[in-house]
């Protein structure tokens, strides 16, 4: 059996420090409920002394959590901070005070203005003081990633001797390389007496894009708790991403000798919830929970995934609560992806028919970044309209603007294969196009209704036009056309209505 690694979620504390990610107490309670559903081991609910809101959040979350998990409050190595945290945590059945101070030369000399000896004295005092108030005390050695290793050993030894139950080794600035950070953890395990009875925690930042790698390297070296946030929120470039760490341990548990008890099917829901509350969007290519995490655009990838999901996916989308693998139809998609999606929509074609649909799909895909289901529906319906067409619009060129005279040049082929190219002017581009069509076709209909709508989202959406025309007998005929160019859509719709009128007239005459 692999080692159980505790997941310490600090979304409500360090995650809130992301610019613009401020949360109300009610917001924090909503997220805390989701964290409880996920079965995280520790919720760092806030920094109680920092504000009345944080105090209330810690108290309310402590009351809500019950026995489900440890509820933690952050403090500085200051008696008053520790007192306030203990007061806020009085509602919690499993309270933890998280206290500490900086240990790197930069923090000691520039920020705190103290010597190493004075630092060690503060470590002992703050840990002992907190242990008088709660049984579970976590000590953080801020900026341990840039500290002198011999001094770090001295500090952690002092914290353990003073009664710390957890020692947190943060790479606060995301400075370290994974192997160097792992070496620090191994060295602490070898040199600090009694550390085998204490939980080693790590808290890594993403300043160089290595937060997850740092955390996993530390776990492999013996760390037993990882501090992380949903979506990797946090100061500057953010913290270790909870979803990445959890799924990496799930995929490589044997190599890391590690597992977690997190309910992974709640990961996507948690990500969307935090994004919604904080207003901070998740980048589309974000690992595990990004919109494109299980999306495939390349034709080669699509073909592979359709044959066997694990050709390009190492994670089953269902395992993280995602909707499923998504085939993104674009100009890079191949025959297999398009046929698969059409079948899902209920359309099947013989090879020759399918090739015609595919070619029209490519025309649309060249004009759009993504082709949606509604686009495919429009393509199929457009093809159905063209199959029985008496007249077909082959090309349309429009010239218009102020002060230009609206002019349409239309290329139209009839059912016998004869093609005509005509040019007409009008009061506007649609009027000119319709007059050009009227010049070719054998009948004329009075336009009674004209409507246009976007079939899909985006500025490159297909525009679908619906028109109704009336013949000399007062009968109404409806036509539809779709294209990324709304003038072309308008011409197709009008010609479709005219074709219906001609076909109906022929049918009546045949009777």
CATH number at residue 468: 3.30.160.270
Residue 385 lies in a domain: no
Q: How far apart are CA 36 and CA 24, in angstroms?
A: 18
Judgement on whether residues 163 and 17 belong to the same structural domain of the protein: yes
Q: How far apart are CA 378 and CA 295, in angstroms?
A: 23
Q: How far apart are CA 243 and CA 15, in angstroms?
A: 14
Residue 152 lies in a domain: yes
The answer to whether the beta carbons of residues 238 and 18 sit under 8 Å apart is yes
Please give the chain's pLDDT, 511 residues, in tens: 899 999 999 999 988 887 767 788 888 998 999 999 999 999 999 999 999 989 999 999 999 999 999 999 999 999 999 999 999 999 999 999 999 999 999 999 999 999 999 999 999 999 999 999 999 999 999 999 999 999 999 999 999 999 999 999 999 999 999 999 999 999 999 999 999 999 999 999 999 999 999 999 999 999 999 999 999 999 899 999 999 999 999 999 999 999 999 999 999 889 988 987 887 888 878 888 886 666 655 556 555 645 665 665 657 777 777 755 555 667 677 787 777 777 766 677 888 778 888 887 787 777 766 776 667 766 776 665 555 578 889 999 999 988 889 999 999 998 888 999 999 999 999 999 999 999 998 777 788 888 887 766 666 677 888 888 888 888 877 777 888 788 998 998 898 888 878 877 776 665 4
Q: How far apart are CA 229 and CA 242, in angstroms?
A: 5
Judgement on whether residues 155 and 263 belong to the same structural domain of the protein: yes
Chosen domain end from 246, 278, 310: 278
Judgement on whether residues 201 and 337 belong to the same structural domain of the protein: no
Judgement on whether residues 331 and 229 belong to the same structural domain of the protein: no
Segments forming the whole domain that contains residue 311: 295-371
Angle at 76 between CA 75 and CA 80, to 5 degrees: 80
The answer to whether the beta carbons of residues 116 and 103 sit under 8 Å apart is no
Judgement on whether residues 360 and 417 belong to the same structural domain of the protein: no
Instruction: Enter the pTM of the model.
Output: 0.68
Judgement on whether residues 200 and 299 belong to the same structural domain of the protein: no
Residue 384 lies in a domain: no
**In whole angstroms, how far apart are CA 503 and each of 85, 115, 381, 388, 492?**
82, 95, 18, 9, 16
Q: What's 193's domain CATH number?
A: 3.20.20.70
Candidates 71, 88, 117; CA nearest to 125 is 117
Residue 286 lies in a domain: no
The DSSP symbol for 329 reads: B
Q: What total of structural domains would you count in the chain? A: 3
Residue 283 lies in a domain: no
Judgement on whether residues 185 and 332 belong to the same structural domain of the protein: no
Judgement on whether residues 318 and 268 belong to the same structural domain of the protein: no
The answer to whether the beta carbons of residues 481 and 495 sit under 8 Å apart is yes
Judgement on whether residues 304 and 266 belong to the same structural domain of the protein: no
Judgement on whether residues 66 and 174 belong to the same structural domain of the protein: yes
Angle at 173 between CA 169 and CA 178, to 5 degrees: 65
What percent of the chain is helix, strand and coil (3-state, nearest 5)?
A: 45, 20, 30
Judgement on whether residues 412 and 347 belong to the same structural domain of the protein: no
Residue 456 lies in a domain: yes
Residue 504 CB neighbours (<10 A)? 13
Judgement on whether residues 44 and 137 belong to the same structural domain of the protein: yes
The DSSP symbol for 371 reads: B
The answer to whether the beta carbons of residues 240 and 9 sit under 8 Å apart is no
Burial 327-353 (b: 16+ CB within 10 A, else e): bbbbbebeebbbbbbbeeeebebeeee
Residue 8 lies in a domain: yes
Question: Cα dihedral sign for 217, 218, 219, 220?
Answer: positive
């Amino acid at each position: 059996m692999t080692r159980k690694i505790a997941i310490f979620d600090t979304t409500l504390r360090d995650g809130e420090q992301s610019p613009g990610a401020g949360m109300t107490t009610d917001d924090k309670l909503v997220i805390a409920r989701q964290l409880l559903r996920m079965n995280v081991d520790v919720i760092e609910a806030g920094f109680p002394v920092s504000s009345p809101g944080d105090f209330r959040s810690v108290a309310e979350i402590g009351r809500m959590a019950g026995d489900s998990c440890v509820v933690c409050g952050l403090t500085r190595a200051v008696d008053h901070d520790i007192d306030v945290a203990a007061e806020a945590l009085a509602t919690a059945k499993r309270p933890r005070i998280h206290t500490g101070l900086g240990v790197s030369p930069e923090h000691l000399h520039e920020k705190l203005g103290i010597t190493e000896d004075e630092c060690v004295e503060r470590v002992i005092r703050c840990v002992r003081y907190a242990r008088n108030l709660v049984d579970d005390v976590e000590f953080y050695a801020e900026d341990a990633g840039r500290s002198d290793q011999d001094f770090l050993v001295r500090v952690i030894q002092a914290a353990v001797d003073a009664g710390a139950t957890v020692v947190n080794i943060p790479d606060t600035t995301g400075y370290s390389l994974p192997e160097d950070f792992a070496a620090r953890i191994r060295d602490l395990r070898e040199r600090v007496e009694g550390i085998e009875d204490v939980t080693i925690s790590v808290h890594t930042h993403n300043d160089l894009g290595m937060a997850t790698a740092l955390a996993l390297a530390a776990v492999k070296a013996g760390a037993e708790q990882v501090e992380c946030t949903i979506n990797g929120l946090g100061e500057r470039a953010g913290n270790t991403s909870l979803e990445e760490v959890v799924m990496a341990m799930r995929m490589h548990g044997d190599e890391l000798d590690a597992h977690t008890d997190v309910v992974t099917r709640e990961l996507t829901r948690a990500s969307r919830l935090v994004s919604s509350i904080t207003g901070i969007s998740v980048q589309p290519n974000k690992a595990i929970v990004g919109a494109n995490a299980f999306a495939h655009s390349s034709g080669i990838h699509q073909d592979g995934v359709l044959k066997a999901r694990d050709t390009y996916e190492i994670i089953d989308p269902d395992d993280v609560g995602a909707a499923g693998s998504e085939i993104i139809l674009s100009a890079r998609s191949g025959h297999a992806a398009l046929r698969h999606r059409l079948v899902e929509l209920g359309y099947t074609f013989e090879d020759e028919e399918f090739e015609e649909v595919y070619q029209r799909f490519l025309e649309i895909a060249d004009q759009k970044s993504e082709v949606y289901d509604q686009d495919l529906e429009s393509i199929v319906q457009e093809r159905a309209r063209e199959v029985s067409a008496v007249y077909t619009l082959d090309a349309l060129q429009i010239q218009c603007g102020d002060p230009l005279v609206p002019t349409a040049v239309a290329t139209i082929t009839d059912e016998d294969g004869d093609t005509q190219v005509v040019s007409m002017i009008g009061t506007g581009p649609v009027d000119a196009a319709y007059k050009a069509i009227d010049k070719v076709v054998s009948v004329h209909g009075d336009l009674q209704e004209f409507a246009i709508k976007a079939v899909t989202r985006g500025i490159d959406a297909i525009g679908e036009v619906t028109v109704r025309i009336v013949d000399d007998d007062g009968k109404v005929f409806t036509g539809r056309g779709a294209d990324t160019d709304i003038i072309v859509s308008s011409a197709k719709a009008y010609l479709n209505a005219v074709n219906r009128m001609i076909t109906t007239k022929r049918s009546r005459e045949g009777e």
